[in-house]
Every structure is written in structure tokens, then in C-alpha cells.
């Protein structure tokens, strides 16, 4: 039975996160040696880095949203952000010196002297239902087929969470005790911090060596490239036309992340893709690892390094499907939604925990700033962050009956996202344009698979989520985890997601509802499951369980480096041949007009430069403008011709080239279809490239003056 009590006794001289430790054993203030200061700084590094990142990006997002009215150049906004950030850092340092903030890392709800070795009969009465229902539910979810099995699984999941009520409710009443801010409490030790920092730096290096391509990069990196080269913000379409068409659903106005990277690249004088992959990616990897550690340390301080290690192993080894939970970590961390999932969601739970256990206005303020930054990262936050806040608020109301705390937490986390969504709805074609890329929704079983997996991995993920109210530290962690698990489980009931999609048009986002659960941390906590009334078996379990879980991850999961995507040196996340070909085309003396090239090259070109306009950067973006329109049909036809995969009527190709305005046609030398059609199309060869990446470029008939060579 999962019975884990996390006890944290505060040794003399230890301090809470973000506070100054006592100078001596007597508790009197005094000067500290340089090594002591360095150890203190090392221990505080995860907190300082993540909090500073939240504040800094929130300031950028606020300035960016203000600029939606002012319409200044990104370079000007970036300069204003630098000045504002410096001022904010000075103010924060002054406030920190005068009013050090505290974080409760103890278990305030646990009365001293309580035994965790109660007899098996009371434990059986307490845990039989949640344990049995949880096991039955995860097996049905992981292996069952059909609606009936799925319905039974989710109902058992609800029973698991509800029956865990005695473990969720704080002892001695319904109110979570408030820990005095000034009392000494354990924080990350220098030794723990050293392990975490090394892990974060290793993740940063490893991230730059992964060359796993994401089709979404054509938009994200392409937008940053546009901003860096032109010092303008592309509010309208920039992939298919140069601002002629309105912005598609993939380019709502409120995210600021890609504009920030573009402005940063321009300020540093480097290519935007280099700023993305060589500057931002390592920094984001460090921040995501620090965020995971902070949540682990706040929610499960009994064996935090073990929990942290198992969670990281789970993230790295279970990341196969392109839309799977962990695939949004290092393989896609330069996308705003990935930063939201693996950095901001864990930090949101940390800030909520801090507020409930200390009533810290600092924690509430950081939560509010986090909500601002979340909107700047991804439009997904417009839906998921209010859902996270609602889950927390409901749990607070049910358990503590403190309306004020519930309202404060909900408002801090959701006011800005909801306000942004409402403004977007009033100023654009609708909220669906702000949060969805296409009108797809997924069945609940698929939603479960993408976040919690199936088979043995599904059992691990399901138990981690449904047993979290039994495994975490008492007080706010159990309460908040129960709220998140209950909300996600309810939304996975048959018909709930489909009904929500029909009513809101948000089907493309609702499949991400499990993202509000910090799953890697909970999986790590599952590895500390303890049978405290059995001494020797429990000692064996303490070693065997995490070992078995890692073996399961390695054998049943798909690691991040699958499909031979690891490189020996940092890369731009695109094949070297494709990158070289794109730059070769840029250097050619091309005629005016759009570039028609193989689809893979046209996807790469926006990530290389915004100066060479292509016929079709990605076919997905045509859905916003109608796949049955001549505009879309012409581009799809021309892409098929350039790929050389199947023959296309030459007459139709010639007409489409004229309507679209093609000036240059570049095809692989192996494309015999294009070579045979070149005379009939009136194409005139003007450039040739040797292998690897052998290519021939033609000048289209009627093309204007030459351009390029830049």
C-alpha cells in the first residue's frame, strides 16, 4: 500500500529558499566567509535562475503587448526591456535585502511524534479502496479496449482520488497551517544544488546535440528570422505571402516568444536560428531542469535526489511520439508551448504551494507574473492555465473552505490569460484563432496515450497521477495534486472532451488537458513508494522499485535520440545537406518571384532567410485559407511537381506557375520528371550544384530582374 510520509526536520542553520541563513550557531547575525557565501549562492541557484526568468519574460511580454498599440520596432522594445529588467533586478535586490522571503519546505500538517508504523489493519481500512481502484483503473486504461472498458477505467480513477480524502485533508482540521516566514526551514543543500546544476548543464549540452526535426520549426524559427532580418513584427501572414493575407490561426498576435528570440538575435548580431539553437535552447534546458527540481523539492523532500533522477530518466527515455508529453522537452524546447509545459507548469505548482503554506505575497506575485509569461509563450496557456487554476481553487475550497485563498490563487494564475483571450476574441475572428491551429480533436484514449502512455508505461503514468494524493507530502502538495488529477480524470470521461470541443471549437487544444499534471515529478515520487510497516521488505523495495522503473523506461519507452538524431556537434535541427542547399540558393543571382523547390527545401528556407519567398513553406498552413481554393490548389500542385514523386500535367504546372508568380525553380538532379518538363515549361537553367545535394536551378519564363546573391 502506498504509504509515504515526507518528514523534513529543520537542522540548525538551514534556511528556506531565497532567504539568508543564520550566520552562526547562536543565531546572531555576523559576517560570512567567502566559501560560505559561495555555498549559499550555489544552493539558491535553481530558485534565483527560475524566478528571474519568470520575472524577465513577464516584463518582456507586457512590453510586447503594450507595443501592439504603439507598434514600435522590436529592437526598440528589446532596448526598453533591457532597461526595465535592470531596474527590476535592482529593486528586487533591495526588497530582498530588507524583506527576505520564506518558503515552507517542512510538513506543517504533521504533528510531532506521530508514528508511520501503524498496524496493517488501520492501513488496510484507509488504503484498500484507493489502492485497489487505482490498480484496476490503470490496467483498464492501459490495456482495455472499447468504450465500456475506458468508462470503467476513468470511473475507477475518480474513485481512487475521492477515496483518498483522509490523506488529502490536513490533520487537525481543514485548514493548511501557515508556517511563519521567519522560522528556519530546510532548503536545497549545496550538495543537492551541485547535482542539480550538473544535471542542468548536461541537459543543456545534450539538447544542442539532438537534431530531431519538428515541422513546426518552419513557423517558430521562421518568425524569429523575419524579426531579426527586418526588425518588424509579422502580424499578418509571412510564410505564404509578405503580409498580403491575414494572419492564420498559427500566428495569433499575443505570443511574444518568437519575437523575443528575433530581437535578441538582432541585438547580438547573430543569425536567428543560431540564437534559437545555440543560445536559447541551452538556457531553456537549464530552466526546465531547475523547475523540475524545485517542484520535486517542494512536494517530495524525503528523497528528492532519487525522485529527481527517476523523473529525468523518465523524460529522456520515454519520448517517442511527436506529440507525446516528454517529446515537448529537449527535442522541442525552443517552442513556447514546450517551455510552458516543462518549466512554467511545475513552477505554477511551486508558487501555489508556497502561497498556501506561507501566505506569501511574493509567491502570489510570481504566480501572476508567470501567467503573463505563459501567454507570451503559447496561446495554449489561455486555456490550460485557467484550467490549472480552477483545479487548484476547487481543491482549496473543498478541503480548506477558504474562499479568499481560492479566489486569490485563481485570479493570480488566470486573470491575464483569460483577459488576453477575451481581447483576442473581440479583436480577431474569434478565440479559436487564438488557441487552435486546426479543428482536430482526439478521443480520450488517445489523449491518455499521448500523456500517460499505454501498456506498462501507462500503468506507471496512471498510478503516478492517481496515487499522488497518497504519496506526496501532506498539506498543499497532496491537495493540489488531487485537484489536478481530479480535473484531468473528469475531463477524460467519455463525451466530455468531444462536447467541450463542439461548444468551444477548441478541439486542437483540449487534448492537452493532462499537461496541467506535472507528470515527470509524480512518476519520480512513485519510485519512493514505502511500505513503512514492513522493515526488511521496505528496504528492498526502496532499491528495487526505482531500479525496476528505470528498466521499464529503457525497455518499453522510446528515447529522445531515436531514429539516429544525435550529432557530434551542435546543429540547427535540420539536415546539413538541406541547410547547405538553402544557403546555396540564397547566394545565387535569382530572378524576382517566388522560389519553387522540393518541399523539404521550402520548409528550410524561412529558417534561413526571410528574403527568399517560397511557394509553400508547409501545407498545413493552407487550411486557414481553404484547401479547395485556387490559391491552395496551385501551391499543392507545384510542390508535388518539385518533389518529383508523381507526374503532374505540364499545362497545369505552367498555369499555376504564372498565377502564383514563380521566378525560380530549383529541383534535385534526380528529379527526372522536372527535367523532362523543363523545355515545355520554358525553364532556362542558370545554376547547378554538385552532390551531395545535387540541384539544378531554372529561371521561369517571364521572370523579372535578377535578385539575390546576398
Residue 175 has a pLDDT of 61
Q: Are residues 597 and 511 part of one domain? A: no
Of 334, 358, 241, 321, residue with least CA distance to 283:
334
Mean pLDDT of the 79-100 span: 84
Q: Which position has the higher pLDDT, 593 or 425?
A: 593
Q: Are residues 370 and 307 part of one domain? A: yes
Q: Are strands 695-699 and 662-668 parallel, antiparallel or unpaired?
A: antiparallel
Q: Are residues 599 and 508 part of one domain? A: no
Q: Is the pLDDT of residue 30 over 60?
A: no
Residue 79 has a pLDDT of 98
Residue 16 has a pLDDT of 32
Q: How far apart are CA 18 and CA 181, in angstroms?
A: 11
Per-residue pLDDT reduced to its tens digit, 355-400: 999 999 999 999 999 999 999 999 999 999 999 999 999 999 998 8
> Alpha-carbon dihedral of residues 347, 351, 352, 358, nearest 10 degrees?
150
Q: Is the pLDDT of residue 102 over 50?
A: no
Q: Are residues 517 and 375 part of one domain? A: yes
Residue 26 has a pLDDT of 41
Q: Is the pLDDT of residue 100 over 80?
A: no
Residue 366 has a pLDDT of 97
Q: What are 197's three cell numbers?
A: 546544476
Residue 119 has a pLDDT of 59
Residue 321 has a pLDDT of 84
Q: Is the pLDDT of residue 610 over 90?
A: yes
Q: Among 2-6, 71-75, 268-272, 529-533, whose mean pLDDT is lowest?
A: 2-6
- Domain membership of residue 8 (yes or no) is no
Residues 618 and 607 sit within 8 Å (Cβ to Cβ): no
Mean pLDDT of the 24-50 span: 78
Q: How far apart are CA 554 and CA 306, in angstroms?
A: 17
Q: Are residues 154 and 49 part of one domain? A: yes
Mean pLDDT of the 248-276 span: 95
- Domain membership of residue 144 (yes or no) is yes
Number of domains in the chain: 2
Q: Is the pLDDT of residue 681 over 80?
A: yes
- Domain membership of residue 298 (yes or no) is yes
Residues 388 and 347 sit within 8 Å (Cβ to Cβ): no
Confidence of residue 19 (pLDDT cuts 50, 70, 90): very low
Confidence of residue 7 (pLDDT cuts 50, 70, 90): very low
Mean pLDDT of the 581-600 span: 96
Confidence of residue 565 (pLDDT cuts 50, 70, 90): confident
Mean pLDDT of the 64-89 span: 96
List of long-range contacts for 642-648, beta carbons under 8 Å, 24+ apart: 642/596, 642/597, 642/598, 642/599, 642/602, 642/615, 642/666, 642/667, 642/671, 642/674, 643/598, 643/599, 643/671, 644/598, 644/668, 644/670, 644/671, 644/672, 644/673, 644/674, 646/673, 647/673, 648/673
Q: How far apart are CA 514 and CA 383, in angstroms?
A: 12
Q: Is the pLDDT of residue 106 over 70?
A: no
Q: Are residues 624 and 478 part of one domain? A: no
Please give the mean pLDDT across all residues of the chain: 87
Mean pLDDT of the 525-545 span: 85
Task: Supply angle C-alpha 612, 435, 497, rounded to 5.
Answer: 135
Confidence of residue 429 (pLDDT cuts 50, 70, 90): low
Q: Are residues 616 and 485 part of one domain? A: no
Q: How far apart are CA 15 and CA 482, in angstroms?
A: 28
Q: Are residues 114 and 65 part of one domain? A: yes
Q: What is the CA radius of gyration of the chain?
A: 27
Residue 310, strand partner residues: none
- Domain membership of residue 684 (yes or no) is yes
- Domain membership of residue 32 (yes or no) is no
Q: Is the pLDDT of residue 25 over 70?
A: no
Mean pLDDT of the 217-238 span: 96
Element (H, E) at 596: strand 594-596
Q: Is the pLDDT of residue 307 over 90?
A: yes
Per-residue pLDDT reduced to its tens digit, 341-355: 999 999 999 999 999
Residue 707 has a pLDDT of 58
Q: Are residues 389 and 495 part of one domain? A: yes
Per-residue pLDDT reduced to its tens digit, 692-701: 999 999 999 9
Q: Is the pLDDT of residue 439 over 50?
A: no
Confidence of residue 13 (pLDDT cuts 50, 70, 90): very low
Residues 6+ apart with CB under 8 A from 668: 598, 644, 694, 695
Query: Cβ–Cβ contacts within 10 Å for residue 571, how many?
Result: 17
- Domain membership of residue 100 (yes or no) is yes
> Alpha-carbon dihedral of residues 415, 420, 421, 422, nearest 10 degrees?
90
Q: What are 326's three cell numbers?
A: 516528454
Q: Are residues 684 and 550 part of one domain? A: no
Three-class SS of 398-455: HHHCCHHHHHHHHHHHHHHHHHHHHHHHHHCCCHHHHHCCCCCCCCHHHHHHHHHCCH
Provide the percentage of residues in the chain whose pLDDT is more than 70. 85
Q: Are residues 597 and 546 part of one domain? A: no
Q: Is the pLDDT of residue 148 over 60?
A: yes
Of 592, 584, 639, 644, residue with least CA distance to 613:
592
Mean pLDDT of the 241-263 span: 92
Residue 600, strand partner residues: none
Q: Is the pLDDT of residue 109 over 80?
A: no
Q: Among 10-19, 200-209, 533-542, 659-668, whose mean pLDDT is lowest?
A: 10-19
Confidence of residue 11 (pLDDT cuts 50, 70, 90): very low
Residue 536 has a pLDDT of 74
Residues 213 and 335 sit within 8 Å (Cβ to Cβ): no
Confidence of residue 478 (pLDDT cuts 50, 70, 90): very high
pTM of the model: 0.91
Listed residues 556, 590, 610: the one ending a domain: 556
Confidence of residue 177 (pLDDT cuts 50, 70, 90): low
3-state DSSP assignment of residue 25: coil
- Domain membership of residue 27 (yes or no) is no
Mean pLDDT of the 82-109 span: 68
Q: Are residues 275 and 381 part of one domain? A: yes
Confidence of residue 44 (pLDDT cuts 50, 70, 90): very high
Give residue 314's domain range.
39-176+189-556
Residue 645 has a pLDDT of 87
Residues 376 and 418 sit within 8 Å (Cβ to Cβ): no
Q: Is the pLDDT of residue 125 over 80?
A: no
Mean pLDDT of the 500-523 span: 86
- Domain membership of residue 316 (yes or no) is yes
Amino acid at each position: 500500500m502506498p504509504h509515504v510520509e515526507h518528514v523534513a526536520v529543520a537542522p540548525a542553520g538551514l534556511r528556506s529558499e531565497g532567504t539568508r541563513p543564520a550566520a552562526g550557531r547562536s543565531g546572531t547575525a555576523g559576517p560570512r566567509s567567502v566559501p560560505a557565501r559561495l555555498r549559499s549562492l550555489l544552493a539558491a541557484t535553481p530558485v534565483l535562475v527560475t524566478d528571474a526568468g519568470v520575472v524577465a519574460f513577464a516584463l518582456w511580454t507586457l512590453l510586447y503587448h503594450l507595443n501592439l498599440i504603439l507598434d514600435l520596432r522590436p529592437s526598440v522594445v528589446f532596448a526598453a526591456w533591457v532597461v526595465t529588467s535592470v531596474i527590476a533586478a535592482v529593486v528586487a535586490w533591495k526588497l530582498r535585502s530588507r524583506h527576505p522571503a520564506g518558503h515552507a519546505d517542512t510538513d506543517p500538517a504533521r504533528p510531532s511524534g506521530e508514528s508511520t508504523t501503524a498496524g496493517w489493519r488501520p492501513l488496510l481500512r484507509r488504503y484498500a479502496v484507493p489502492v485497489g481502484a487505482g490498480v484496476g483503473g490503470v490496467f483498464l486504461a492501459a490495456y482495455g479496449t472499447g468504450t465500456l472498458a475506458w468508462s470503467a477505467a476513468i470511473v475507477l480513477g475518480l474513485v481512487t482520488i475521492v477515496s483518498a480524502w483522509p490523506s488529502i485533508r490536513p490533520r487537525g482540521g481543514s485548514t493548511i497551517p501557515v508556517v511563519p516566514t521567519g522560522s528556519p526551514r530546510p532548503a536545497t543543500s549545496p550538495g543537492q544544488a551541485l547535482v542539480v546544476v550538473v544535471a542542468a548543464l548536461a541537459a543543456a549540452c545534450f539538447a544542442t546535440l539532438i537534431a530531431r526535426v519538428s515541422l513546426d520549426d518552419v513557423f517558430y524559427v521562421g518568425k524569429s528570422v523575419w524579426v531579426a532580418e527586418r526588425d518588424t513584427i509579422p502580424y499578418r501572414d509571412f510564410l505564404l505571402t509578405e503580409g498580403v493575407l491575414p494572419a492564420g490561426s498559427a500566428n495569433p498576435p499575443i505570443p511574444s516568444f518568437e519575437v523575443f528570440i528575433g530581437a535578441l538575435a538582432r541585438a547580438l548580431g547573430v543569425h536567428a536560428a543560431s540564437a534559437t539553437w545555440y543560445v536559447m535552447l541551452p538556457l531553456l534546458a537549464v530552466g526546465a531542469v531547475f523547475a523540475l527540481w524545485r517542484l520535486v523539492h517542494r512536494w517530495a523532500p524525503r528523497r528528492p535526489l532519487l525522485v529527481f533522477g527517476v523523473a529525468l530518466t523518465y523524460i529522456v527515455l520515454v519520448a517517442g511520439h511527436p506529440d507525446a508529453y516528454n517529446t515537448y522537452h529537449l527535442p522541442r524546447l525552443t517552442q513556447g508551448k514546450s517551455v510552458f509545459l516543462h518549466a512554467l507548469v511545475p513552477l505554477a505548482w511551486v508558487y501555489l504551494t508556497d502561497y498556501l503554506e506561507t501566505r506569501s505575497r511574493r509567491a502570489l506575485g510570481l504566480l501572476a507574473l508567470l501567467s503573463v509569461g505563459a501567454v507570451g509563450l503559447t496561446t495554449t496557456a489561455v486555456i490550460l492555465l485557467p484550467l490549472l487554476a480552477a483545479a487548484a481553487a476547487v481543491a482549496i475550497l473543498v478541503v480548506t473552505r477558504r474562499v479568499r485563498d481560492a479566489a486569490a490563487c485563481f485570479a493570480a494564475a488566470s486573470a491575464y490569460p483569460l483577459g488576453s483571450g477575451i481581447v483576442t476574441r473581440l479583436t480577431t475572428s474569434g478565440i479559436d484563432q487564438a488557441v487552435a491551429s486546426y479543428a482536430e480533436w482526439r478521443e480520450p484514449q488517445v489523449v491518455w496515450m499521448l500523456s500517460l502512455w499505454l501498456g506498462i508505461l501507462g500503468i506507471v503514468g496512471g498510478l503516478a497521477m492517481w496515487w499522488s494524493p497518497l504519496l506526496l507530502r501532506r498539506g498543499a502538495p497532496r491537495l493540489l495534486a488531487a485537484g489536478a488529477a481530479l480535473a484531468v480524470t473528469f475531463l477524460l470521461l467519455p463525451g466530455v472532451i468531444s462536447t467541450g470541443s463542439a461548444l468551444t471549437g477548441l478541439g486542437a487544444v483540449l487534448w492537452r488537458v493532462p499537461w496541467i499534471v506535472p507528470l515527470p515529478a509524480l512518476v519520480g515520487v512513485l519510485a519512493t513508494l514505502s511500505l513503512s510497516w514492513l522493515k526488511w521488505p521496505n528496504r528492498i523495495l526502496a532499491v528495487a522499485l526505482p531500479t525496476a522503473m528505470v528498466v521499464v523506461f529503457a525497455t518499453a519507452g522510446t528515447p529522445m535520440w531515436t531514429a539516429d538524431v544525435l550529432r557530434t556537434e551542435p546543429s540547427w535541427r535540420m539536415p546539413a545537406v538541406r541547410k547547405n542547399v538553402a544557403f546555396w540558393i540564397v547566394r545565387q543571382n535569382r530572378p524576382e518571384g517566388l522560389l519553387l523547390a522540393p518541399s523539404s527545401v521550402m520548409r528550410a528556407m524561412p529558417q534561413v532567410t526571410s528574403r527568399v519567398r517560397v511557394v509553400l513553406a508547409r501545407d498545413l498552413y493552407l487550411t486557414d485559407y481553404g484547401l479547395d481554393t485556387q490559391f491552395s490548389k496551385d501551391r499543392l500542385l507545384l510542390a508535388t511537381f518539385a518533389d518529383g514523386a508523381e507526374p503532374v500535367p505540364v499545362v497545369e504546372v505552367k498555369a499555376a506557375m504564372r498565377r502564383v508568380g514563380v521566378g525560380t525553380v530549383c529541383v534535385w538532379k534526380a528529379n527526372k520528371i522536372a527535367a523532362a518538363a523543363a523545355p515545355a515549361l520554358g525553364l532556362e537553367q542558370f545554376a547547378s550544384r554538385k552532390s551531395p545535394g545535387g540541384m539544378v536551378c531554372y529561371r521561369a519564363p517571364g521572370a523579372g530582374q535578377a535578385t539575390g546573391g546576398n
